Structure 1
């Protein structure tokens, strides 16, 4: 990999300087990173995601969520894909992920196809980034530029996942503080939350909201409760769509639902509850172009969070374990 430094700077020895390393790392990421080494990469990811989403439309949302949960914990480094080992407790069984995060087998399948064509070249982190984009587009969402050249983590942190991923019961202040700590504005947070126009949530994550909060539309709550018993431990894994209007389509209905007091999670309804994001929710609810543009820009920004690049990390041959 040393040729990257020499090509960029002409003087490989300069790569030992911390400031130059930072510059070089930034240059590693490019949409064209695999054009020569694995020219069929994007086509493989697209074909596999088309097959998966055709079989189950919800999988597009699941892979998008998988990518988000990866990036928010130590950057977009595929650490969320690692199984537990004796050396570390992985992120899969962290509170926000256990029994709800899915799509691991989809990434495994894509990785196997990529390895068969371009062995030991493409990182799991880049495959996940491309799959999240394709899953969103297949469900009618916008496209964004995917920078490539990430490498894969060799460890994971369950404690960081528990600490750094938002709770479904988070308040607006909690959400804003968390996203600001990751470099996002409050409006970018509200745009990214629009991903909940897709996908579903478990009863255990919305039970307290639909049973106990005054800011929920009663008719909406009554319908949700048919599939979510009041007693903890019963029906915990029953699912309801985050956007009951159009659960498999990327649109502005999520924001319209919030204005009708029909946010499934407490953290959703907090975006429209007399606070600073009410005006943003109103704007996105009626301006699909603004939502799509802002969502795509925020996703591109999220994908650039703390990228792990050479000489750090590795190209994992199996996304579930280190080499």
Structure 2
């Protein structure tokens, strides 16, 4: 009887030990993901930087990919090698990154869902408009802290698609925000070139800013001139296009704007679009622009534009001169001098 009781006691101890071991293993497994949002209203500098570095390093270098497969239109693509990486990315997305920033980050690292799983594109297939990428091994410093927002300075590395006039490395900002559900999330990523994405230009950026031939100072002048409203807020600069893109105000060459629908279009144009609408009247007569200027980049992408070495404003008709006065009046209303803060 004694031996039987001893046996039962040993079995109970073994079961308890196994249960504790399972709990320990589960605990260790959960510790892979640091819970930065466990009722935390104040995130320390160290925790904020650790969160950002952990996510960036995982997206940049932590995800293993398998053999290449054929992606969209013959592009090279590779699935995540480990299914656990998909789960980890999902946890980061759900708990620590807002949707807009997640789309931006996955574009930066060319991560995309393809057919049966997540993977990485091996070339410019995904996120081709993001020309600088965060340096996961670079320095991360706290620039500012408010009650519900932390701004971290980070290093960005130039993509090979950019020209020699761009700096090889540059600094930008990562913002972490305390959301309504009391969770800290990466809410925005901003860098001087990638910032064009937030102006809704995205893949159209080279229509105005030639990344192979312009330099950083050209970009800063471009944003200072066209990127803000009179209150200093960033404004969309995407052009209003017809299909195919032929003109901002297509009727400005043959009838007075007050008689046409284009007069209503003019009222809603951004400063950039208004300026281009003004210049397209000259461009129709072949006005020549400085090489790699925003006018040069834009009009040389249009089939109808042909440089005219003998261009003169005397070539303009009375209707075109009248419409120029109307458009320039709108432009003057938008011409508020703003500063560019680096």
Superposition TM-score, scaled by structure 1 size: 0.25
Superposition TM-score, scaled by structure 2 size: 0.24
Higher helix share: 1
Higher strand share: 2
Which has the higher Rg, Structure 1 or Structure 2?
Answer: 2
